[in-house]
Structure 1
Amino acid sequence: MTPGERLAAAGLSVPDYGGLELGAVLPGALAAVGAADAVAARDAEADRVRLGIPRAEHVVVVLIDGLGHRQLDARKGHAPFLRTTESAVITAGFPTTTATSLALFGTGRASGATGMTGYTAHNPRTGAAANLVSWDGADDPERWQREPSLLRTAHEGGLAVSTLGKAKFAGSGLTRAALSGGEFVGRARLAERVDEAIRRARTPGLTYLYWGDIDRMGHKHGWQSEAWTAALEDVDQELRRLRARLPRHAAIVVTADHGMVDVPGAPRWDIAAEPSLARDVRLVAGEPRMLHLHTDDAAVAPAVAERWRGVLGADAAVLLRSEAVALGLFGPVVADHVEDRIGDVVVAMAGRATVVDSRTQTPEAIALVGVHGSLTREELEIPLLVAYDG
C-alpha cells in the first residue's frame, strides 16, 4: 500500500489546510474588523469570505475546547442555539490536540511551521519529551514557536484585542507561544467571560474567549456521558445569551480545537508490555491516539514501522516521517527547526484504538475515557458557527 492508501484504509483524512480549517478562523475574523494586514502568512480576506464571516465593528471569537462536530450533532437536542447556528464543518490540524490546534488558531500556521507537534513533543536540545500544554521540558516559548501571534500583530497595528480565560493562563508557555497580544482578562466562570465579552463588544475590536470544561468532562467521563452533556447545555445557554445581548454591528464566531472518541472497550496496547513495540524506540512522544516514535538511528525507522504495522494491523496508519510530511499531515511546509520534533515514525490510530506507555504515563492518564489526536472524522471535524445581526 502507498502511504495515502494506508491512511485511507484506516479511515483517516488529511486536514483541509488552506480551505475550511481552523487556521482560517482568526485571520477571517481579523479581516472582518479591518485588520487583514495583521496576517502575513495567508490571505485573510479570502479566509473571511470562505468561512462566511461578515464585516463587523467587533468580532467575539469563541473557542470551545473538545467540541467536535460529530459530538455536537449527536447531542444536538441538548444544544438548540448551537444546533441552529452551525454554519459549516471545518477541520482541525494534525495532531488533533489542544496545543497544536491553539497554535494553528493563533498563528494561522500548521504544526509543521509552529513546531507544536503534539501534546508532548521531542525537544532536540534535551533529547527528552516536552509537554506543550504545561510547558514542562520545552524551551523559551518564543524560541520554540517562531510564527507571529496574530493577536499580538493586530494589537501592535492598533486594534483593540482582548483574551478572556483563566487568570493562570495569562503568562503560560502556550499563551506566550501562540496567543499573546492585547489585554488578557482572567475570569473563572463562563458567565463572567460572556459578560466581559458583551461589554467589550460595544467598541470596535476583537475579543477571543476560550472555554475548556467540555474537553475536561470528555476526558474524565467520555463525551457520551451525562456530565459532558450537562457541560454542553451550559455552553449552549451562555452562548445564546451572548448572541442575544451582543450589540448591533458585532458578530460572534464559535469554533473548537478538536473532537474526541471514547475508548473503553476498544483495542489498547501498552508499549511496556509489547517488546516488539519498544524495540529500537528511544522516545515516544505525542499521545495515545497519535504517537511520534524517535529512534537513535533513523536507518532503523523502516523496520520499526513494519513491526508496529504487524502488531497494530488495521487499527493504525503507521508512516515514516518522510511519508507523513509528503502527505501534508503537518501542513504544506515543515520548517527545518521543526523536523526533528516529528517522529522518525508517526502512528495515527484508527477507530477507537490507543497505544499507551505505562513506563512514562500515569495510571490516571492511561485511564482517560475520552481521548483525541488522530485523524478520524470524530476527532478532525469541528463546528463553525457565525452569528451577526448588523
Structure 2
Amino acid sequence: MRDATPPSYDGRGLAGVLPRVVASLDGPQLPAAASTTPLPAAKRAVVVLADGLGADLLRRRSGHAPFLRAATAKQDPAIPAVLTAGFPSTTATSMGTFGTGLPPGAHGLAGYQVRVPGSDRLFNELDWIDGPDPQQWQPHPTVFEQAGAGDIPVTMVGPTKFDGSGLTTAALRGARFAGARDLGACVDAAVRAVRATPRALVYLYWGEVDRTGHQHGCESWQWGEAVEQLDGELRRLRAMLPDDTSLTVTADHGMVDVPDSAKTDVALDPELRAGVELVGGELRGPQLYCTPGAAADVAAVWTDRVGDDGWVMTREEAADRGLFGPVDPEVLPRFGDVIVAVHAPIGFVDSRVMNPRIIALIGQHGSLTDAEQQVPFIHLPAR
C-alpha cells in the first residue's frame, strides 16, 4: 500500500481559492495564492462553494452538469481544474482552510468531532454547541477580513441559520451576511450583492448536494438531481453577472458510499476500544484520543485490524508526513493521539458518542482518497 499523500495547502489546494480570487481583484497578496498560475484580473468576483461536490463524482456523473462540464472544458489549461481539500476531508476543517487560507495545523479546526485539550469531552465543530469562543479557537484573520481591509466589500450568501454561527465566526468572519432560503434565492442575493458596488467579493454556500449524498448516497439518482439543480442555477448566475465579474466554483470535499455492513462500531469491539478514551473525527477518518501512554499500543492494534484497507499513524507521524500542513504546537493536541484514514469503502463509528442518524448516513468522507480529497476548481473569468 502506498504512503498517505499529503494534501496541498497552497494555490494547488482549497487554501488557495479565496487568496487567488482576492489577488485577481487587486487585493492583498496572501501566501496561499503562491505556487500556481494567477487568475485573470476582474473588478468583482463570485465564489460558489458547493458542499460535497467532489471532483471525481462530478467527472463521472458530468451528464447531470452540462454547464460545469462545458466550463471545465473551456478553462485555461494553465489553471488546474482539480484541487485537494486537505485533511481531514470534512466540512468544518475545509471551511477553516478555505476561509483562512491556512492549513488545519495552523487554523486548528481539526475535524468533525474534536476534543478540547485538557477536557474529557468532544465538541462538534459544525454545530458548535457548547464549543469554545470561536475567535479564540481560530484567532487568525480570515481572507474576508483581509479583503475588507483592502477595501473590497465582502458578502456571504447562504441559509440564514449560518449567520453568526460558531463555524462562520471562526472560519468566515468579515463578510456581510445575506440570508436566503433556497438556491434560487441565494443566486438572486448574490447578483444583488455583486451589483451593489463597483468592487466586490461575494461568497455563496450551498449544501444540498452534500445533504443528498449523505442521505441517499452519492451514487443515487437523487444526488444527480441535486447536481442538476445546482448546475442550472449556476448557469443562470453566470448569465446575470456583470461583464467585469468572474465566477469560481469549488467544493469542500468529495464523498464515497459506505454500506451499514462495512461500518465497525468501536463501542462493541473491546480490542479496538482498549486504551481509547474518545473517538472523534469522521467515520472514514477516526481520531483516537487515548489514555496517557497508550497511543503506541492503540496504533499497533488498529494497524493490525485496518491492514491494507487504510493508514494508521500516531498524531506526530501524521504531522511529520505533512497531513495537517505546518502545525502550531498549541493546535497539535486538538488532533487525536492516533489518526486513521481508510481507503476501502469501510468506516469506524462509536455509538457512545455518535448520533445514530449520522452513523446511518450512506455517503461519507473524511479520508485521504482521491474521491474525498479532490475538489473542482472551475474559474470563469470576467468577460
Shorter-normalised TM range:
over 0.9
The alignment status of 1:314 with 2:300, answered yes or no, reads no
Shift of 1:95: 0.3
For residue 253 of structure 1, give the secondary structure of its aligned residue in structure 2.
Answer: strand
Match of 2:86 in 1: 93
Deviations 1:173-232 (A, max 9, x none): 000001011310001111111112222323311000000000000000011111111110
Match of 2:249 in 1: 254
The question of whether the paired residues in 1 share the 8 Å contact of 2:28 and 2:150 is answered with: no
The question of whether the paired residues in 2 share the 8 Å contact of 1:284 and 1:292 is answered with: yes
Query: Match for 2:317 among 316, 319, 323?
Result: 323
Q: Distance in 1 between matches of 2:382 and 2:16?
A: 22
Counterpart AA for 1:204: R
Counterpart AA for 2:299: A
The question of whether the paired residues in 1 share the 8 Å contact of 2:260 and 2:360 is answered with: no
Counterpart AA for 1:357: D
Deviations 1:139-165 (A, max 9, x none): 000011122111022213321110001
Shift of 1:74: 1.3
Match of 2:27 in 1: 35
For residue 215 of structure 1, give the secondary structure of its aligned residue in structure 2.
Answer: helix
Point out where structure 2 has 5 or more consecutive residues left out of the alignment: 76-80
Match of 2:208 in 1: 213
Match of 1:23 in 2: 15
Q: Distance in 1 between matches of 2:367 and 2:245?
A: 35
Q: Distance in 1 between matches of 2:140 and 2:269?
A: 39
Q: Distance in 1 between matches of 2:261 and 2:19?
A: 38
Counterpart AA for 1:237: G
For residue 41 of structure 2, give the secondary structure of its aligned residue in structure 1.
Answer: coil
The question of whether the paired residues in 2 share the 8 Å contact of 1:222 and 1:369 is answered with: yes
Q: Distance in 2 between matches of 1:51 and 1:161?
A: 24
Match of 2:356 in 1: 363
The question of whether the paired residues in 2 share the 8 Å contact of 1:129 and 1:137 is answered with: no
Deviations 1:4-23 (A, max 9, x none): xx6x26xx532122241000
Query: Match for 1:107 among 100, 103, 114?
Result: 100
For residue 282 of structure 1, give the secondary structure of its aligned residue in structure 2.
Answer: strand
Shift of 1:43: 5.3
For residue 201 of structure 1, give the secondary structure of its aligned residue in structure 2.
Answer: helix
Q: Distance in 2 between matches of 1:79 and 1:120?
A: 33
Q: Distance in 2 between matches of 1:243 and 1:51?
A: 23
The question of whether the paired residues in 2 share the 8 Å contact of 1:128 and 1:137 is answered with: no
Shift of 1:265: 6.2
- CA separation of 1:51 and 1:188: change in aligned 2, threshold 3 A: farther
The question of whether the paired residues in 2 share the 8 Å contact of 1:138 and 1:144 is answered with: no
Query: Match for 2:64 among 78, 82, 85?
Result: 78
The question of whether the paired residues in 2 share the 8 Å contact of 1:13 and 1:376 is answered with: no
Runs of 4 or more, structure 1, over 3 Å off, are: none
The question of whether the paired residues in 1 share the 8 Å contact of 2:28 and 2:146 is answered with: no
Query: Match for 1:196 among 166, 189, 192?
Result: 189
Match of 1:386 in 2: 379
Match of 1:374 in 2: 367
Point out where structure 1 has 5 or more consecutive residues left out of the alignment: 1-5
Match of 2:125 in 1: 132
The question of whether the paired residues in 1 share the 8 Å contact of 2:24 and 2:38 is answered with: no
Q: Distance in 2 between matches of 1:26 and 1:138?
A: 26
Q: Distance in 2 between matches of 1:170 and 1:19?
A: 28
**TM-score if structure 2 supplies the norm length?**
0.94
RMSD in angstroms over aligned alpha carbons? 1.5
Shift of 1:24: 0.3
**Identical pairs, percent:** 45
- CA separation of 1:260 and 1:194: change in aligned 2, threshold 3 A: same
For residue 377 of structure 2, give the secondary structure of its aligned residue in structure 1.
Answer: strand
The alignment status of 1:344 with 2:337, answered yes or no, reads yes
Q: Distance in 1 between matches of 2:32 and 2:225?
A: 38
Match of 1:293 in 2: 288
Q: Distance in 2 between matches of 1:194 and 1:33?
A: 21
The alignment status of 1:14 with 2:14, answered yes or no, reads no
Residues 132-151 of structure 1: pairs in structure 2 closer than 5 A: 132-151=125-144
Counterpart AA for 2:16: A
For residue 155 of structure 2, give the secondary structure of its aligned residue in structure 1.
Answer: strand
Shift of 1:266: 6.0
Q: Distance in 2 between matches of 1:96 and 1:137?
A: 23
The question of whether the paired residues in 2 share the 8 Å contact of 1:20 and 1:51 is answered with: no
Counterpart AA for 1:321: R
The question of whether the paired residues in 2 share the 8 Å contact of 1:96 and 1:375 is answered with: yes
Query: Match for 2:274 among 272, 276, 279?
Result: 279
The alignment status of 1:176 with 2:162, answered yes or no, reads no
Q: Distance in 1 between matches of 2:352 and 2:120?
A: 17
Match of 2:50 in 1: 64
Match of 2:78 in 1: none
Q: Which moved more, 1:179-188 or 1:58-67?
A: 179-188
